[in-house]
Amino acid sequence: MAERILIYRIGSLGDTVVALPVFHMLAREFPDAERRILTNMPVNSDAAPIQAVLGDGGFVHGYFPYPLGTRNLKHLNALRRDVANWAPDLVVYLNEPRRWASLVRDFAFLKSCGAKSLVGVPFARDLRHHRPLPEYGLFEAEASRLARCVNSLGEARIDDPANWSLNPTAPEIADADAALLDWRGAGNFAAFAIGAKIDFKSWGDNRWADALSSISAAHPDLGLALLGGPNDSARATAAASGWQGPVIDLCDTLPPRQSALVIGRSRLFLGHDSGPMHLAASMGTPSVCVFSKHAKPGVWFPFGHHQRILYPRLDWSGGEPLVMRDATGEQNITQIPATHVIEAANKTLNQAVVGANGTMN
């Protein structure tokens, strides 16, 4: 039985959330092992480090951070010594598909750290690619591919909502409660995050302004909580200028885990293919999200059956096949019309009201 497990995982907020089922599995299968993560430091101020996502949820006990993309031999040798001195029994490779040369380089580095066993490196082609799901018109989710890579260690059970939990602590719950204290929208609100880590994943601030104004007109008593990083506040506030109900700006106010708890109290999450979208999914909050064609449909779609995805020319409701829209010329994210986002949001909000009244499952 392994006593020390090194988990190699790079990425930030959303990348970490989609790996949660594997982190749960490792904690379940190796409860007495010390688990540490070898991970990159964020490349910009808007990217939350993996430490801020996993927090004190009982997933790991420590970290070996390094600058992303570093080629400094002195730094790499120091990192290798630190890991080797800790002497991991097992290394779990838990990254997105990479080029063959990168896989070989990663494998060589991890072996040089003295690992007795290394699991999850996707040398097999099937493990490097997302399987097509013809019945849904989608491709396999990244969470599923990761689970396949490490299934020799245990079953990740990605369909179980419990395995997406951040395992919030009592102080974190108290922080989320305090953030909403005395806000008159606290009992009835939507959450909105305008941020997108890559520009071409952004739908456009003016489109969001039009959509939010129309959604609010249909639900004038609904509050709106703005969430995101330090560069999102001004943009989100401007986009929400036509919102009729109470608005609270929590951008750069709460860490990711507390932001997730706030989203979990909302009736609906609105945003892009982003970290906050995956936080919403981890909390079981219904979402309406606008996607670019950066990745194949399904790979980064959020977990759960209460999600509505607007992808160029395509609609997806959780658990259902893709629907092709009548969208001639709609080839990128900016061509997705606001009317589709508004319709999806209103439908989700109306369903939530009906469900609260007990007349709909």
What integer is the mean pLDDT of 277-296? 96
Q: Which residues contact 61 (CB under 8 A, 6 or more apart)?
A: 34, 35, 36
Contact 280, 287 (CB under 8 A): yes
pLDDT of residue 191: 98
Confidence of residue 12 (pLDDT cuts 50, 70, 90): confident
Average pLDDT, the chain: 92
Dump pLDDT digits (tens) for 294-311. Answer: 999 999 999 999 999 999
Dump pLDDT digits (tens) for 77-118. Answer: 899 999 999 999 999 999 998 899 999 999 999 999 988 899
In the predicted structure, residue 231 carries a pLDDT above the cut 80? yes
pLDDT of residue 353: 56
In the predicted structure, residue 357 carries a pLDDT above the cut 50? no
Q: For residues 300 and 182, what is the distance between their CA atoms, to the nearest angstrom?
A: 36
Q: Residue 273 carries which side chain, given as an amino acid letter?
A: D
Contact 309, 296 (CB under 8 A): no
Domains of the chain: 4-164 (3.40.50.2000), 170-356 (3.40.50.2000)
Q: For residues 90 and 2, what is the distance between their CA atoms, to the nearest angstrom?
A: 6
Q: Which one has a higher pLDDT value, 251 or 66? A: 251
Confidence of residue 75 (pLDDT cuts 50, 70, 90): confident
Buried b vs exposed e over 311-340: b needs ≥16 C-beta within 10 Å?
A: bbbbbbbbeeebeebeeeebeebeebebeb
Contact 93, 120 (CB under 8 A): yes
**In 119-169, which ranges are continuous DSSP H helix?**
125-128, 142-149
Dump pLDDT digits (tens) for 236-283. Answer: 999 999 999 999 999 999 999 999 999 999 999 999 999 999 999 999
C-alpha distance across the termini of the chain, in Å: 45
Q: Which residues contact 177 (CB under 8 A, 6 or more apart)?
A: none
Q: pTM of the predicted model, to two decimals?
A: 0.93
Ramachandran angles phi, psi of 76, nearest 5°: -65, -40
DSSP letter, residue 335: G
Q: Which class for 252: exposed (0-12), middle (13-18), buried (19 or more C-beta within 10 A)?
A: middle
Q: State both tokens at 13.
A: 């907020």
Contact 202, 291 (CB under 8 A): no
CA angle 7, 143, 40 (to 5 degrees): 40
Q: For residues 89 and 35, what is the distance between their CA atoms, to the nearest angstrom?
A: 10
Angle of helix 170-180 relative to helix 256-264, nearest 10 degrees? Answer: 60
